[in-house]
Amino acid sequence: MFKELDPLLHSQLRLAVMSLLLGLDSAEFVFLKEKTNATAGNLSVQLDKLSEAGYILIEKSFHGKKPLTTCRITKKGIKAFEDYVNSLKGYIKS
């Protein structure tokens, strides 16, 4: 029996973001954009999805006049990520 893969994580950009955040305390939007090569619009949409699911926390603030978006992974996000990787293992072994 294969465990179903979390559809929220089984998408290239969202998985990339979650993998990045897993190793970091926090990361700014620009950093995530640079590392994933995503467009700002697409990234923004995907971040909102992850945030709505409670997988990440998005903080919006200002740095001088520039808006600053900082993301960090939540405990729920870490758990979901671990579950996702465990399910993946099932697929790889078979």
Binding site for another protein (CB under 8 A): 10-16, 19-28, 30-31, 34-38, 42, 46, 63, 85, 88, 91-92
**Based on CB atoms, which residue is closest to another protein, 24 or 54?**
24
**Based on CB atoms, which residue is closest to another protein, 22 or 76?**
22
Rounded to a whole number of angstroms, the minimum distance from the CB of residue 54 to another protein is 19
Q: Which two tokens stand for residue 72?
A: 């960090």
Residues 6+ apart with CB under 8 A from 81: 9, 18, 19, 22, 55, 73
Rounded to a whole number of angstroms, the minimum distance from the CB of residue 76 to another protein is 18
**Based on CB atoms, which residue is closest to another protein, 42 or 76?**
42
> For the chain, first and last CA: distance in Å?
10
Is 1 exposed, middle or buried, given 0-12, 13-18 or 19+ CB atoms closer than 10 A? exposed
